Chain A
Amino acid sequence: MADAPVPATPAAPQPTALQLFLIFSRIGLTSFGGGLSGWLLREFVRDRAWVGEEEFLNGLSLSQALPGVNVTNMAIWIGHRLLGFRGAAAGVAGIVGPAAVLIVGISAGFAALSRFPATHWALDGAAAAAIGLSASMGITTALRVPRRWLPLAIMAGTFVAIGPLHQPLVYVVLGVGLGSIALEYARLRRG
């Protein structure tokens, strides 16, 4: 039981704001087919160990539940953890800026490219592979859900409601999320 005040990254060397900007830019520019948050897990937790897995997953939970684009939320969360305001600014600028310039710059080219069926095949293939990024992140998160029946039931219920049953995301997150937080609060008070 020790997730309270322990800082999760012990002595990992600190990145600079420029480094953060460049990493986020690279992810923004190469993430064809989605799965951007999966890239972040890979890059910051697995490869560089700048952010602890628990820390990352806590940020991910909030990014999912709060409004906003998840990957942008995560970029700000990670950037702030590592370098405060400058880190958050570098994160959001990196993930949005270069990709925004690119999409405008080549929108005419994309329109021309989209007339070739080969473009669609290539992007469908990349999108299929990119699901792996989301899926591996989903599995990682699921493995870190406490093995008690209540959290597991909440996870399964959320999945079924949004996935197969197509319930509106906002209501599920509000309803299930608030209930889950209240139950966890009660459990922590007791124990």
Chain B
Amino acid sequence: MRGPVLGLFAVFAPLSLVTVGGGQTVIAAIQRQVVDQHHWMTAPQFLNAFAISRMAPGPGSLLATLIGWQVAGFWGAVAATLGIFGPTAILIYGVAVVWKRHQGALWQRALEGGLRPVAAGMILASVYVLLQSLDGGWLAQAIAFASTAALMASRVNPLLLLVAGAGIFLGLHGNG
């Protein structure tokens, strides 16, 4: 076992609990701790790990796993993964248990009904932000709209749409 395994857990566990609405919000905080404070990675190394986490499938927070692996090998990856996913996993599990036990309670229906419009606004806002940050201009936006329409109107397999999107981009860039 090499490197600061416990330190990795100690960095990611608190960050886990301030992650609201998706992992992207804590990237800057992760960089500050991993690069500036602990000097576990250089800035280019961090940027590279971030790029890989964006390219790879799965939750974006697997960035933590990758950092753990690069800093301290297997146990580093395990510690960082448990840190970033563990505390909130326990929290939501507790909520799920309480929810089932008190199904239909007034406070529960108030929470569900009250949070529904907030969640809808959050999801739509994240779509808006994603659309703004898309590389590829109008073509990327057209693909996004077409894929939305296809998913709403049919039972097409999403993977097929991802492959088609990748293929269209490759084809156009390859020929242009």
Listed A/B pairs (27) with beta-carbon separation below 8 Å: A5-B103, A60-B119, A64-B123, A67-B17, A67-B19, A69-B85, A73-B88, A76-B92, A81-B100, A88-B93, A95-B59, A96-B85, A102-B57, A113-B55, A122-B170, A128-B169, A129-B164, A129-B165, A131-B144, A141-B119, A158-B117, A162-B125, A163-B124, A181-B111, A184-B110, A185-B114, A188-B110
Residue ID in chain A nearest B122 by CB atoms: A64
Give the A-B pair count, Cβ closer than 8 A. 361
In whole angstroms, how far apart are the Cα atoms of A31 and B162 in the complex?
Answer: 9
A23 at the interface (CB under 8 A from B): no
Residues of the B chain whose Cβ atoms lie less than 8 Å from the Cβ of A128: 134, 136, 139-141, 143-144, 147, 165, 169
B25, B56, B119, B129: the one contacting A64 at CB < 8 Å is B119
The answer to whether B148 touches A135 (Cβ under 8 A) is yes
Contact A177 B115, CB 8 Å, known A104-B65, A131-B130, A162-B121? yes
- Give the distance to chain B from A167, nearest Cβ to Cβ, in Å: 10
Q: Fill in one digit per residue for A39-52: 1 if any B CB lies within 8 Å of its CB, else 0.
A: 10010001100000
**Given A28-B58, A121-B173, A129-B144, does the pair A184, B113 have CB atoms closer than 8 Å?**
yes
Tell whether A170 is near chain B: CB-to-CB under 8 Å: yes
Query: Top 6 nearest A-B pairs by Cβ distance?
Result: A158-B121, A99-B58, A68-B88, A132-B147, A125-B169, A129-B165
Query: Does B69 sit at the interface, judged by CB under 8 A?
Result: yes
Say yes or no: is A127 at the interface (Cβ < 8 Å to chain B): yes
Secondary structure type dominating chain B contacts: helix
Pair A72/B129 contact, Cβ less than 8 Å: no
Give bound CA distance, A81 to B174, whole Å: 47
Question: When chains A and B are docked, how far (Å) is the Cα of A183 from the Cα of B114?
Answer: 7
Cβ contact of A99, chosen from B59, B93, B118, B125, cutoff 8 A: B59
Residue of B20, B111, B147 touching A173 (CB-CB under 8 A): B20
Known contacts A61-B116, A124-B140, A139-B152; A157 and B121 CB within 8 A of each other: yes
Chain A contributes a number of interface residues (CB within 8 A of B) equal to: 109
B165, A126: Cβ atoms under 8 Å?
yes
Residue of B23, B77, B131, B163 touching A131 (CB-CB under 8 A): B131
Contacts of A60 in B (CB 8 A): 119
**Given the complex, which residues of A lie within 8 Å of B130, measured CB to CB?**
34, 127, 131, 134
Q: Which of A61, A104, A126, A163 contacts B125 (CB 8 A)?
A: A163
Tell me how far the C-beta of A159 lies from the nearest C-beta in chain B, rounded to whole angstroms: 4
* Residues of A32-90 contacting chain B, CB below 8 A: 32-36, 38-39, 42, 46-47, 57-73, 76-77, 80-81, 85, 88
